[in-house]
Structure 1
């Protein structure tokens, strides 16, 4: 499932001379799109298969990034009991863990829904909006966007390698 938003490549190209907010949003949406593309046409078994020494899998990457989206954008709101902050290496590792219910379809849909929610939350604030954060003291929306671009792009690189190891498929689009 790929999000039904404007083509992220076209949006990214149009953003090349846009303002800071337009560029940040375009880069993040581009990497979100590529992550979902990495799951297209792959079986649940292949998405969950370990191909590297770590527990990193295609499905686990999507599950992890869904949690990352939820944590970082919801921190811009008043934190609630459902908000879970990764406080240790073990918490981060656990966010990749899969269950029997974690199909490509379900994980893709959950990620797309969380990204839509993240866009909605971010759209309420200016880049300089600052909130308290339990580990960093304070963060701005600008910092959250830059961090999400960095983390999503890094994991999309992992997904690209895992997909190539699975079936030889390469490329961002």
Structure 2
């Protein structure tokens, strides 16, 4: 019996959009998998010189998701978006009230909101960007795959340093 296919494998002959969405969701799953079965203390633990922690990675990626899909693509006013929507240095900072469960719940909520926002656009639709001039949904998907994969790699290293866990 063969191993069941992952969602990103099921779209091996899918449309460009199906492939981009599946691979972004794959990276989202990977980052979440790296923090499963980690204690609150270990999720907050700083073991590298930067502010990078497992919990901080989730909080930062939530802010980056808000930035690209809600601020940029949907052109929402940052004042109308709850939480950090810049993905800046402050997006890594944990408050005393942040728990791994609350951070993951917020990440899931924001990712679902972003799926709904993106559904209203074609890959070729562009929106203004202060830094880049214009960006397409295609570019946003590709950038978010890159950003999330980069941080999933960071999480993989942190997790291995914390408890030796590797892979999914």
Structure 2 residue 129 is the aligned partner of structure 1 residue 127: no
State the 4+ residue runs in structure 1 displaced beyond 4 angstroms: none
Q: Counterpart in 2 of 1:79?
A: 76
Q: Partners in 1 of 2:133 and 2:85 — Cα distance?
A: 13
2:168 paired with 1:169: no
Aligned twin of 1:6: none
Q: 1:154 aligns with which of 150, 157, 161?
A: 150
Give the Cα–Cα distance (whole angstroms) in 2 for the partners of residues 39 and 160 of structure 1: 9
**TM-score of the pair, normalised by structure 1:** 0.88
Tell me the alpha carbon deviations over residues 130-159 of structure 1, each in whole angstroms, 9 at most, x when there is no partner: 011122211110010000000000000000
Per the normalisation by structure 2, the TM-score is: 0.90
Aligned to 1:3: none
After TM superposition, list the pairs within 5 Å mapping 1:99-114 onto structure 2. Answer: 99-114=95-110
Pairing partner for 1:29 from 25, 28, 48: 25
Structure 2 spans left out of the alignment, 5+ residues:
none
User: Could you say which residue in structure 1 is the equivalent of 2:141?
Assistant: 145
Q: Distance in 1 between matches of 2:104 and 2:29?
A: 11
**Aligned residue runs from structure 1 range 28-47, under 5 A:** 28-47=24-43
Instruction: Mark the runs of 5 or more structure 1 residues left unpaired by the alignment.
Output: 1-8
Indicate if the aligned counterparts of 2:8 and 2:23 stay in contact, CA closer than 8 A.
yes
Separation in structure 2 between the aligned mates of residue 50 and residue 78 of structure 1, nearest angstrom: 35
Partner Cα separation in structure 1 for residue 93 and residue 17 of structure 2: 33
How many residue pairs end up in the alignment? Answer: 160
The change in CA–CA distance for 1:134 and 1:85 in structure 2 (over 3 A counts) is farther
